[in-house]
Structure 1
Amino acid sequence: MPTLLIEHPITDFPTWHGAFSRFAERRRDGGVIAERVLQPVDDPHYVFVDLEFATVDQARAFRLFLESQVWSVPSRSPALAGSPRARILDTAPVGGASDNC
């Protein structure tokens, strides 16, 4: 399942979460089928977001939306405290007889 993994520093979680929540409908419309927000246990000023999609193309399109319509507009990302890093991940093919782990 393709996952858009996003990570970035934030100024404060309540402000960030409020902005994140305002885009819930856009995430659904963009094909997000599951989401998870994580924070390091030792850093309340950093977040990780996993957004799962049915296809890589949906993940790419949503990343482009975030880059061009959200992160580039300070009023839409008020708690962003640095440049987000966004990568599209997919499940690695593991468990076969040819694995050398």
Structure 2
Amino acid sequence: MTTLFVRHEVSDYATWRKTYDAFHQVQKANGVTAQAVYRAIDNPNDITVTHEFATFEAAQAFSKLDELKAAMRTAGVLGAPTMCFANKA
């Protein structure tokens, strides 16, 4: 199992969350098996999201989706997100 960690700042959490929740079907169709959302304690617009996948290849393909990039723009993501992939040890 591979986890994709995505961290980014958003202009408004409520707007971002609405777009994120609406993106659920795209996540599921592209191999996301579990997900979680975290907000930084000192900045509620600093978001970290985890998405779990069966394989690294599925995680990598998801991270490159044009639909994902478009959703991030719509959601008000500021700047480029930081992404990293990890396997549970």
- Alignment TM-score > 0.5, same fold: yes
Which residue type is aligned with residue 86 of structure 2? L
Percentage identity across paired residues of the two chains:
29
Q: Which has the higher strand share?
A: 2
Aligned mates of 1:75, 1:91 — CA distance in 2? 26
Question: How many equivalent pairs are there?
Answer: 89
Structure 1 residues 47-78: Cα deviation after superposition (integer angstroms, max 9, x where no partner)? 0000001111110110011xx3332x478533
Task: Say which is worse superposed, 52-61 or 77-86, in terms of deviation.
Answer: 77-86
Q: TM-score, normalised by structure 1?
A: 0.80
Q: TM-score, normalised by structure 2?
A: 0.89
Give yes or no for contact 2:35–2:52 (8 Å, CA) kept in 1.
Answer: yes
Structure whose CA Rg is larger: 1
Give yes or no for contact 1:70–1:77 (8 Å, CA) kept in 2.
Answer: no
Structure 1 counterpart of 2:5 = 5
Show structure 1 runs of 5+ residues with no match: 93-101
Q: Which has the higher helix share?
A: 2
Show structure 2 runs of 5+ residues with no match: none
